Amino acid sequence: MPRDRFGAGEVLMRTLFAVVATLALTTPALAQQQRPNCEAWEYRAFDFWIGDWDAFRADTNAPAGHSSVRAEDTGCVITEHWTSIGQPYSGRSLNIYDRATQKWEQFWVDSTGNRVHFIGSPTPTGMRIATETPVTVAPNQQAYSRITFTNNPDGTVLQHGEQSADGQAWTTSYAFIYRRRTE
């Protein structure tokens, strides 16, 4: 009787190799299928803010700063890079739609070492995000903070920042009109 060309151990190793190779080739395809579809309307609700902007104080029209807002990471993340005019202040934000909570989140960090986490939702005219707990707004002072972004018909965006000691009565901390850079 002729002997098998391969022993049982070698057959097992070849079978195991075939299984591992198949998994290695199919796992990336499965991972791609399981990625969130950041093309869905929920992920696009903040797209009106994307662009290069000059920001002006809404009350005086004085220049306030520059902002560069980009869609990144296959459109799943919106990043902002802010630079103030006339003061040494800058900051960055990461903005994402969390499909588990069905809320937008913004993670803000700035040149003072401050960090703020906002959570919010689209409004009929833009977006509103707010802190869920008080944040430091000045030395020894904490307050709730919220920002409303209004997508104006003329293509500008109004960014209205507010603070509240109790989360009920709000006062304006700033209001900027964002105009697309023409350079």
**Total domain count, the chain:** 2
Looking at the fold, whether 114 and 55 belong to one and the same domain comes out as yes
Report the largest interatomic distance among the alpha carbons of the chain, rounded to a whole angstrom.
99
Looking at the fold, whether 64 and 12 belong to one and the same domain comes out as no
Looking at the fold, whether 150 and 60 belong to one and the same domain comes out as yes
Q: What is the pTM of this model?
A: 0.79
Tell me: pLDDT of 54 over 80: yes
Looking at the fold, whether 23 and 48 belong to one and the same domain comes out as no
Tell me: pLDDT of 9 over 70: no
Q: Name the phi and psi angles at 6, rounded to 5.
A: -115, 145
Which pLDDT score is estimated for 37?
Answer: 78
Looking at the fold, whether 139 and 68 belong to one and the same domain comes out as yes
DSSP annotation string for 43-71: GGTTGGG-EEEEEEETTT--EEEEEEEEE
Looking at the fold, whether 101 and 132 belong to one and the same domain comes out as yes
Looking at the fold, whether 124 and 165 belong to one and the same domain comes out as yes
Instruction: Domain of residue 13: give its range.
Output: 1-34
Tell me: pLDDT of 127 over 60: yes
Residue 108 and residue 166: Cα distance in Å, rounded?
Answer: 22
pLDDT digits (tens, 9 = 90+) for 104-120: 999 999 999 999 999 99
Over residues 154-177, mean pLDDT: 97
Please state, as a whole number, how many other Cβ atoms lie within 10 Å of the Cβ of residue 73: 12
Looking at the fold, whether 116 and 56 belong to one and the same domain comes out as yes
Looking at the fold, whether 79 and 18 belong to one and the same domain comes out as no
Q: Tell me, what CATH number does 157's domain have?
A: 2.40.128.20
Looking at the fold, whether 66 and 155 belong to one and the same domain comes out as yes
Torsion region of 20: left, alpha or beta (phi above 0 gives left; psi -120 to 50 gives alpha): alpha
Which pLDDT score is estimated for 138?
Answer: 83
pLDDT digits (tens, 9 = 90+) for 138-162: 889 999 999 999 999 999 999 999 9
Looking at the fold, whether 89 and 48 belong to one and the same domain comes out as yes
Looking at the fold, whether 19 and 71 belong to one and the same domain comes out as no
